[in-house]
Structure formats: structure tokens, C-alpha cells
Structure 1
């Protein structure tokens, strides 16, 4: 049953109840002054998926800047829908842009609704979600051709971000991925099976040959390290009281990045549970500092203004 229904177990767009019927308007007041707009794009297999695009607006509802210097593509965890995450993303976006002047950084966040989630068509699977991530990067390249692009993934979304970046960087396609934000990540589905069920008498550790969902961040980071040209900078953002991902998983990822000589920053969010890392101000500040530093390094700008 575990093997046959692994898609149902791993991907939970139906939780909590009514998650797929949520609307952007239900969260609009808690997102202000960030405005969110739904866009529909097509994956390469024809599946229509939804994206939520967030931009900062002024009191009249107008966008505060006509330019975008940085686009963050957000890949969510395995449960729930996009709208419920928008207040959190809005708080982070406001913090990133709160240091900005008219000549400084202007950021946009695009949250991806995987197939089978929210208003997206189809059923979730690793193969399909890979197509959705690739289609989103094509959309970003067409919409923001001169922007720096960062990928932010939470939990299983961190695996999506790593795999998407590795696949993208092995091509000559634009945009270049300047940074990866890996929030409460794990190395792979197989590694999580062993970490959660270490007892050799339990069957779970022996099921990996039957998995068709892998989300192997270890292999993806190795591929990223082997690519030519500039490599994305990486932010590891673990929660110290994570009740889902064991602490050895972040240690493995940190070692992988160090051995692969990838530029990596780690910020542990003290006392946070699995879904709380960027609910907390220190988590949002860590993302903000990383985004602004990546932007500064990419554009060879002067020291950024300090935002606390």
C-alpha cells in the first residue's frame, strides 16, 4: 500500500480540507501592501498550472516600481495550497523591499502551484512537477529577461528547487539561477525513509527500489557543482526543533555543499518547528539578507543599506 499510494502519501493538496478552493481574495487584507495576481501557464505536456505573482504596491494599489531586479520563485511544501502561504511570503517580500530606494533592489515573488494543487490541473507526481518547475522558469525568463532569479523551496519544495536548478543549469537557457534558498530541506526521499524508520526490522528502508518519487537534492547539488560557469549561492535554513526532518539531514546537505565547493550560508532558526522557520522574523531576515547579498554580488554594487 505504501508503494502503490506513494503519490497520495507524499503529495497532499487536499489537506487541509477545502485547500483547493481557496481564493487569493481571502488573504488579500493580510498581504497588503503586496498584491497577488494569478497567472495560468502551460507545462510542456499541456497541463495548465497556476502561479501567484506578488509585487509591492503603494496606498493607491499601484506597483511601487515598474522594474524588477530580482525574481524569487517559490516552491511550497507537500501540503496545502498557494493562497494560505501568501501572507508569509508577503511579509518576506515587504522586508526585502523595505530597504530599497528608487535606485535599489525591487523584488517580485512567484509562487508555483504544482499540478494537482490549488487551481492547477492534473495530478501531482515527481515527473509532472519537474515539468511545472521548468515551465515556470521559461515564463520568468520571458517576463523578466534582465532580472536575477533565485529559487526558494520549503521541505519537499527544497528538493524541487535543487532538481529544477540542476536541470536548468545544464542547459544554456535563461535565466541564470543566482541563488537557492533551502528551507527545512532533506537530502532525498530515500534518505528520509531511513532517517524516520532506522529500525532494520521495519520494511520502509527496503522500499526504495520501488520509489518513483526521489527528490534527490544530493545528486542535484552534485550536478550543479559540475556545471560550467557561475554557480548559485546557497542558503540552508533549518529549524532546530524540526519534528519532521531529522537534524542529520541538514548536516548531510551542509557536507555535500562543502565538498562540492558551493558557496553556502547556513542560518539555524532556533526553536522553530518544521513549518515555522520563515514564519519567524529571524527566518525572514535571513532570507532578506541572503537575497540582497546575492543581488549585490551579482551586480557588483556597493554595500546594501542595513534593514533591521
Structure 2
């Protein structure tokens, strides 16, 4: 019996090693889910009343070709009025088409254009997703907007805002932290403090050691006190995936930091994926009033 113990321990160590190796190599496939439910677009913005759009293809710094939709009102008179533009960063699953009902309401109720960014490896974009790669994609989208959207017909570089849902909130806050002199404000919905904190939430205690192998940290809580632009937090209080306390922590750290305007709106019956729907007019009116208030503030200077 005593001879079996080293064998059993060796087998267990081998299993743990294989598990750790698999998690390290394939962790992006666990975090980023472009194939659920599909990478294929089943509808286009033009299928939604009141929306016009342009296909936009961007090049990230490493040469990866990224697909986006620039969505705006289809009526000419609505397009002529000064409008803000939201850079829209979605969650970790699906594609741009799945977010069109939400974007339709943003365009109609918030008087904005929306640049919907498809991360690398999602939808019609090339490459494979990773934290470092998605950050490059976000930069490319911002540079496109800073240039006025190509022909300058729909984007005012002085009215740029960033929106992010779930993991997109981590993207949005990171971009706003990097470019406070360009971005006028950031809106986040149901995002998390960090991926490591989410590992603590979803993994059993005995497996939380995998945090040591994580290279997709999205550690928003570490820098949010230094975000120097206005921030609006839209928190679904029945979020079953990201505990609402994550949004509470981010809000409190932001409020005590350098942001000139930090606001939170609770959608009491909002879950992880339907807060925008459950919130209804309150949700979109909160975005509209936030943009109006933030637009009155002077842009922040780039940090040293």
C-alpha cells in the first residue's frame, strides 16, 4: 500500500500539470467566445428601421484587419445635426449583429452615431483574440474616429465617447485611461474588476491557482482611480454572471480618483445580458444626460 502512494501522487501531479498546461495554452478559447452562437451576421443595420451604416475595415498596429460598422440615422436631416459618436465594445460572445436592437435604440434615443467594433477573431475580423490584440484593435478604432471617420461625414473628433458591456467595459475603460485628451467620456455596463477576480467567482477554491497562469488579466480596478474622463456605470443588480459588487468596487474607486464626473445608475431587475432592455428609457436617458453633462467639461490632458 505504501508503494502506491507515490504512484498516486505522481499521477495526480501529472493530471494537475496537464490541466495547467491546457489552461495556459487554450485560455483565450475559454474567455473569448466568438463562435457562440455564431460568427456569421444574420442581419445588417439596414434591416432595422431608421438606421444607415457603412462597413469599415481597420488595420491594427500588427496588421490585423478588423471589421466594424459605423451606424447612424438613415434620415439626412438627422445626420446633419451635431452628434456624438460612441465607440461600442461588446461582450465576449457572439458578433455585432446580436447587438443591433440595442444600437438601434442608442441611435434613436441618444442622438449619437455608433462605431461597432468587432474584435479580432470575431465576425468578419481576422486574427485570434487576446488582451494585447484587442487593445490594438481599440486603438485602431479610436484613430479612425480621430480622423473624422475617413470622409468626416459622420464623426466629430470633439464628441467621442466609449461604451463597453461586460469585457467590453474593460476595453472601454482602458482606452479612456490611455487617451483622456481625446475621449470625452466612458459608459460601462456590467463589467468586472479583473479577470482574476472573476476566476475567484466562477472557479472552485481548489482550482483558483490557475490565476497564476492567466495572461488576459483585464485588471481594470488597478488603474480606474487614474481615469481622468467622466464615467457612467450602468449596473444590472440581478447580474447572474458578474456579481454587481464588481461594479460597486469600480464605481467607488473611480469616485475617489481623478475622474471629473462619476455617476452610477442601478437597473434593479437587469441581468447580465438584458440590462439595456430592462432599463428601457431610463437606460438611454441616463446615457443622453451623461453625454450632455460630460460635453460641457474640458477634455483632460494626456498624463505624463
What TM-score do the two structures reach when normalised by structure 2? Answer: 0.83
The answer on whether the counterparts of 2:88 and 2:114 sit within 8 Å (CA) in structure 1 is yes
* Structure-1 residue corresponding to 2:54: 37
Query: Residue 34 of structure 2 is aligned with which of 13, 24, 47?
Result: 13
> Which one has a larger percent helix, Structure 1 or Structure 2?
2
User: Which deviations, in whole Å up to 9, do the C-alpha atoms of 1:149-192 show, x marking residues without a partner?
Assistant: 111000000001111222234xxxxx611111010011110111
Distance 1:87 1:159 in 2: 22
Alpha-carbon shift at residue 220 of structure 1 (Å): 3.0
Alpha-carbon shift at residue 253 of structure 1 (Å): 0.8
Query: Residue 177 of structure 1 is aligned with which of 160, 173, 183?
Result: 183
The answer on whether the counterparts of 2:225 and 2:258 sit within 8 Å (CA) in structure 1 is no
Gaps of 5+ in 2: 1-21, 149-154, 300-304
Alpha-carbon shift at residue 247 of structure 1 (Å): 2.3
The alignment status of 1:150 with 2:164, answered yes or no, reads no
Alpha-carbon shift at residue 145 of structure 1 (Å): 5.2
Alpha-carbon shift at residue 109 of structure 1 (Å): 0.8
* Structure-1 residue corresponding to 2:98: 84
Distance 1:6 1:156 in 2: 15
Alpha-carbon shift at residue 67 of structure 1 (Å): 5.4
Alpha-carbon shift at residue 83 of structure 1 (Å): 1.5
* Structure-2 residue corresponding to 1:125: 130
- Give the number of aligned pairs: 269
- Matched residue of 2:236: which SS? coil
Deviating 4+ runs (over 6 angstroms) = none
* Structure-1 residue corresponding to 2:207: 203
* Structure-1 residue corresponding to 2:221: 218
Distance 1:108 1:298 in 2: 21
Alpha-carbon shift at residue 63 of structure 1 (Å): 5.9
* Structure-2 residue corresponding to 1:227: none
Structure 2 CA distance for partners of 1:21 and 1:94, relative to 1, 3 Å: same
Alpha-carbon shift at residue 22 of structure 1 (Å): 0.9
Structure 2 CA distance for partners of 1:87 and 1:298, relative to 1, 3 Å: farther
Aligned positions of 1:1-308 closer than 5 A: 1-16=22-37, 19-25=38-44, 28-29=46-47, 31-58=48-75, 62=76, 64-66=78-80, 68-97=82-111, 107-143=112-148, 144=155, 146-169=157-180, 176-197=182-203, 200=205, 202-204=206-208, 206-224=209-227, 231-262=228-259, 263-280=261-278, 281=280, 282-297=282-297
- Matched residue of 1:21: which SS? coil
User: Which deviations, in whole Å up to 9, do the C-alpha atoms of 1:104-156 show, x marking residues without a partner?
Assistant: xxx21101100000000001111110000001111000024543111100000
- Matched residue of 2:293: which SS? helix
Alpha-carbon shift at residue 24 of structure 1 (Å): 4.6
What TM-score do the two structures reach when normalised by structure 1? Answer: 0.82
Gaps of 5+ in 1: 98-106, 170-174, 225-230, 300-308
* Structure-2 residue corresponding to 1:303: none
Distance 2:167 2:90 in 1: 7
